[in-house]
């Protein structure tokens, strides 16, 4: 019996269990649900504006466009229609000239209110996991930082697409060199592994930027890298099992009319939960060794405590002075009253102090 209790205590004290407990205690499931709901609206504006900005480049390079769409489909299954499969967005419509002008400009406003709003909510969610209040930086500076990070993510996605094209061509040349068919099972498997490795690297960089740059946290590099790698591994597992995970959830005939939207909502919820669990892993590890994620918050807390202590000391000092005045009045007041030299001000202060002391008692 003791062995079972010891084993149970050991399991409960393990870091993975404590991470999940911290994630639940920090309202992680509720936060991820809110983030996934916002992501539904943010992703459409982001895709529309992204194609509006990069559409000319993508139109001129078919391989780069296909690689870009492949990365999007790997990140969000069911978003882009490709190879005859189902999808909410038709890439051909995005590449039309009309879509690249007025609709892109109009969608830019939606992007600023949705995508940037999602980034702000994600920042608050990560800081909540770390037990911290909202960011203390100026609101305008925060929005400028969000815009910069959004642009950096778009550039990283394009660079990843270009790297995927290059790796695909290099892989094809290598297969030709060793005499293997490009459509063989081995070639397809290697191509799949290369694509997943590229997405893993991109996810790691994005998560590291989200935890440190977006959330404004001070995280040691080693702990940041471990948390980002764990999060990227979780996202990679979701992408490998994405079709199986979403297929069962959207197979209900009652949900057929909006199965794709429901699938996206479930997908974003899973992604947001992986992100916040990775943040919880970093938070628990830093708490174990007493590291502070945001020194500015700790400094503000100490300054507040110091001001409160100084105020309390001033109140105690004033109370002590009034108590001393009461004591003097009780001891020597009769003498002053006898000779008619009572100090009215001192007497009033003594009476006030007496009432204060009585109230405290």
pLDDT score, position 126: 95
| Same-domain check for residues 230 and 97 | yes
pLDDT at 306 over 80: yes
| Same-domain check for residues 282 and 346 | no
| Same-domain check for residues 322 and 289 | no
Q: How confident is the model at residue 274 (pLDDT cuts 50, 70, 90)?
A: very high
pLDDT score, position 16: 93
249 found inside a domain? yes
**Which among 258, 293, 328 is the end of a domain?**
293
| Same-domain check for residues 74 and 192 | yes
- The answer to whether the beta carbons of residues 149 and 212 sit under 8 Å apart is no
| Same-domain check for residues 314 and 289 | no
pLDDT score, position 361: 47
| Same-domain check for residues 256 and 121 | yes
Give the highest mean pLDDT range of 82-86, 240-244, 304-308: 304-308
pLDDT score, position 68: 76
Q: Give per-residue pLDDT as tens, 24-50.
A: 999 999 999 999 988 888 887 777 767
Q: Give per-residue pLDDT as tens, 223-262.
A: 999 999 999 999 988 887 765 666 555 555 555 556 667 7
125 found inside a domain? yes
Read off φ and ψ for residue 90, nearest 5 degrees. -90, 115
pLDDT score, position 295: 78
How confident is the prediction for the chain on average, in pLDDT? 78
pLDDT at 143 over 90: no
pLDDT score, position 259: 66
pLDDT at 164 over 60: yes
pLDDT at 154 over 80: no
pLDDT score, position 17: 94
Least confident of 6-20, 105-119, 136-150, 250-264: 250-264
Exposure pattern of 98-135 as b/e (b: 16+ CB <10 Å)?
ebbeebbeebeebbbebbbebbbbbbbbbbbbbebeeb
pLDDT at 282 over 90: yes
**Which among 293, 309, 340 is the end of a domain?**
293
2 found inside a domain? no
15 found inside a domain? no
| Same-domain check for residues 200 and 318 | no
Beta-carbon contacts of residue 95 (< 8 Å; ≥ 6 apart): 51, 55, 58, 59, 65
**Which among 249, 277, 293 is the end of a domain?**
293
pTM of the model: 0.75
3 found inside a domain? no
In angstroms, the CA 248 to CA 272 distance is: 20
> Per-residue pLDDT averaged across 190-207, rounded?
85
Q: How confident is the model at residue 267 (pLDDT cuts 50, 70, 90)?
A: confident
9 found inside a domain? no
> Domain of 326?
301-360
pLDDT at 321 over 80: yes
| Same-domain check for residues 261 and 345 | no
| Same-domain check for residues 100 and 189 | yes
Q: What is the total count of domains within the chain? A: 2
> Per-residue pLDDT averaged across 323-330, rounded?
78
1 found inside a domain? no
pLDDT score, position 298: 72
More confident residue, 302 or 280: 280
Share of the chain above pLDDT 70, in %: 74
pLDDT at 217 over 70: yes
> Per-residue pLDDT averaged across 311-338, rounded?
79
pLDDT at 219 over 80: yes
| Same-domain check for residues 269 and 353 | no
Q: How confident is the model at residue 360 (pLDDT cuts 50, 70, 90)?
A: very low
Distance of alpha carbon 192 from the chain centroid: 29
Residue 248 in tokens: 């069962």
Q: Helices (DSSP H) in the chain: which residue ranges?
A: 2-13, 15-25, 28-60, 62-75, 91-94, 102-129, 139-178, 185-209, 221-240, 242-249, 259-288, 295-339, 344-360
| Same-domain check for residues 35 and 53 | yes
| Same-domain check for residues 208 and 332 | no
Least confident of 21-30, 117-126, 147-156, 241-250: 241-250
28 found inside a domain? yes
């Amino acid at each position: 019996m003791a062995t079972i209790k010891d084993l149970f205590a050991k399991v409960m004290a393990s870091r993975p269990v404590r991470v999940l407990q911290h994630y639940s205690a920090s309202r992680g499931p509720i936060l991820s649900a809110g983030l996934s709901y916002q992501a539904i609206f943010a992703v459409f504006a982001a895709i529309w504006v992204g194609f509006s900005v990069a559409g000319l480049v993508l139109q001129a390079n078919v391989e780069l466009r296909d690689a870009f769409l492949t990365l999007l489909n790997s990140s969000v299954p069911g978003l882009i229609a490709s190879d005859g499969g189902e999808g909410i967005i038709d890439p051909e419509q995005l590449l039309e000239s009309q879509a690249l002008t007025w609709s892109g400009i109009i969608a830019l406003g939606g992007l600023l209110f949705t995508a940037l709003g999602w980034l702000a909510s994600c920042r608050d969610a990560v800081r909540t996991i770390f037990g911290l209040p909202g960011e203390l930086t100026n609101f305008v500076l925060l929005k400028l930082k969000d815009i910069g990070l959004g642009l950096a993510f778009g550039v990283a996605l394009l660079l990843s697409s270009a790297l995927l094209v290059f790796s695909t061509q290099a892989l094809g040349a290598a297969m030709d060199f060793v005499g293997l068919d490009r459509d063989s099972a081995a070639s397809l498997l290697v191509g799949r592994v290369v694509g997943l490795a590229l997405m893993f690297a991109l996810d790691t960089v994005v998560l590291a930027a989200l935890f440190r740059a977006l959330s404004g946290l001070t995280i040691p590099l080693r702990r940041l890298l471990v948390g980002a790698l764990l999060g990227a591994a979780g996202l990679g597992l979701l992408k490998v099992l994405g079709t199986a995970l979403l297929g069962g959830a959207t197979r209900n005939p009652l949900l057929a009319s909006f199965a794709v939207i429901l699938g996206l909502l479930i997908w974003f919820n899973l992604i947001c939960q992986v992100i916040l669990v990775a943040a919880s892993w970093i938070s628990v590890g830093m708490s174990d060794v007493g590291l502070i994620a945001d020194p500015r918050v700790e400094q503000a807390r100490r300054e507040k405590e110091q001001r409160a202590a100084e105020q309390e000391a001033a109140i105690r000092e004033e109370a002590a002075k009034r108590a001393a005045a009461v004591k003097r009045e009780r001891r020597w007041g009769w003498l002053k009253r006898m000779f008619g030299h009572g100090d009215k001000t001192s007497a009033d202060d003594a009476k006030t102090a007496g009432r204060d002391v009585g109230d405290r008692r």
